Amino acid sequence: MDQNPPPPIPPNLPPQPQKPVAGDQTPEPVAYDSEGRPLYAAPPTSTPQVVHMTRAVSPEKPEITPEVKARHEDSMRRYPQLNLSDEEFVISAVRRHPIGLVLPVGLTVFCVALVLSLMINYPLIVESLGVLNPPSYASIFFSGSLLTLLFLIGGYIAVWVYINNRFFLTNESVIQEIQTSLFSKHEQTVSLSNIEDASYRQNGLIQSMLDYGSIRLSTEGDETTYRFNYVSNPKREIATLNNAVEAFKNGRPVVD
């Protein structure tokens, strides 16, 4: 016969609140009723709150003021080769100094003058050299005329390439057109927000006296450098460019 008494029966205790598991959004009870059921400040719910939002299919375009629109249309009329946005207009078209034309024009004039001089003085040259059977004057005239034409065409191409290297400052970007030969051309566009430094340089007495030099731009991130040489009045152009960059980065209207 077992002499050990049975274990006592524990009294009814209210259920203890369970600690919420990570990610469980169930609120903790604030009290318990007489039967030990939890009471909440708000009924627990497991339904997530959903907020419905609508978005336009196409974003609204910013309003363009009449002044900006007029300047944009004027820039498109004056510079049709540029790909400008709806609110973009040209502030400054940087010009190249005529000093850069001295070499190609001077070389062309010298070569043409030399050929014409040889053509005109051909009989005297033949006589002074004592050539027995010289070429006919007609053949020399034809060859000289053809050579003169080639020199003129070459000089015209050199001048055309020099003039078509252009640099434009707009209210949004800097555009540089680079013409390296008759059929070789490319364009570089840099946003004003990416320009980190803009400076100019004048080397020597001639550049200072004739007021021309080179401007230099460097961009953020990839540290790319852009240069444009033979710029007329580079100090003024850099001041205009720096003012445009500062205004663009600070959200102010960019004006010339």
- pLDDT at position 210: 92
pTM of the model: 0.67
Convert 20-46 to b/e letters by CB count within 10 Å (16 or more is b): eeeeeeeeeeeeeeeeeebeeeeeeee
Residue 254: CB partners within 8 Å, gap ≥ 6?
A: 91, 171, 172, 192, 244, 247, 248
Per-residue confidence band for 201, with pLDDT thresholds at 50, 70 and 90: very high
Share of the chain above pLDDT 90, in %: 44
Domain boundary among 146, 161, 176: 161
The CATH number given to whatever domain includes residue 245 is: 2.30.29.30
110 and 145, same domain (yes or no): yes
- Per-residue pLDDT for 202 more than 70? yes
Looking at the fold, whether 240 and 178 belong to one and the same domain comes out as: yes
244 and 171 in a single domain? The answer is: yes
* Within a domain: 49: no
Give the Cα separation of 211 and 166 in Å (integer): 18
Boundary (domain end) residue, out of 128, 161, 194: 161
Q: What band does 219 get if pLDDT is binned at 50, 70 and 90? A: confident
In this prediction, residue 169 carries a pLDDT of 94
Q: Is 217 exposed, middle or buried (0-12, 13-18, 19+ CB in 10 A)?
A: buried
Tell me which of 124, 144, 161 is where a domain ends. 161
Domain count, the chain: 2
**Are residue 70 and residue 197 in the same domain, yes or no?**
yes
Asked if 87 and 184 sit in the same domain, the reply is yes
- Judgement on whether residues 82 and 181 belong to the same structural domain of the protein: yes
- Looking at the fold, whether 110 and 233 belong to one and the same domain comes out as no
Q: Give yes or no for a contact between 244 and 254, defined as CB atoms under 8 angstroms apart.
A: yes
> Residues 227-243: pLDDT tens digits?
899 999 999 999 999 99
- Among 52-61, 233-242, 244-253, which range has the highest average pLDDT? 233-242
Q: What is the pLDDT of residue 31?
A: 73
**50 against 145, higher pLDDT:** 145
* Residue at 107 is within a domain: yes
The arithmetic mean of pLDDT across residues 71-89, rounded, is 91
- Decide if 71 is inside a domain: yes
In the predicted structure, residue 214 carries a pLDDT above the cut 70:
yes
- Residue 129 included in any domain: yes
Highest mean pLDDT among 15-29, 62-76, 137-151: 137-151
Alpha helices for the chain (secondary structure H): 66-78, 102-120, 122-129, 137-163, 204-210, 234-249
Q: Pick 86 or 31 by higher pLDDT.
A: 86
Q: Is residue 153 assigned to a domain?
A: yes
pLDDT of residue 126: 82
Domain assignment present for 40:
no
Position 151 pLDDT exceeds 60: yes
Q: Are residues 120 and 233 in the same domain?
A: no
Given a cut of 60, is residue 143 above it in pLDDT? yes
Domain range holding 132? 101-161
Q: Is residue 179 part of a domain?
A: yes
What mean pLDDT is predicted for residues 156-164? 94
Mean pLDDT throughout 106-118?
95
Within this chain, do residues 154 and 87 fall inside the same structural domain, yes or no?
A: no
Residue 5 pLDDT: 59
Q: Are residues 191 and 228 part of one domain?
A: yes
Residue 209 lies in a domain: yes
Average pLDDT, the chain: 82
Which of 3-12, 16-25, 134-143, 234-243 is most confident? 234-243
| Shared domain check, 230 and 210 | yes
234 shares a domain with 173: yes
Nearest alpha carbon to residue 198 among 165, 152, 244: 244
pLDDT confidence of 182, banded at 50, 70, 90?
A: confident
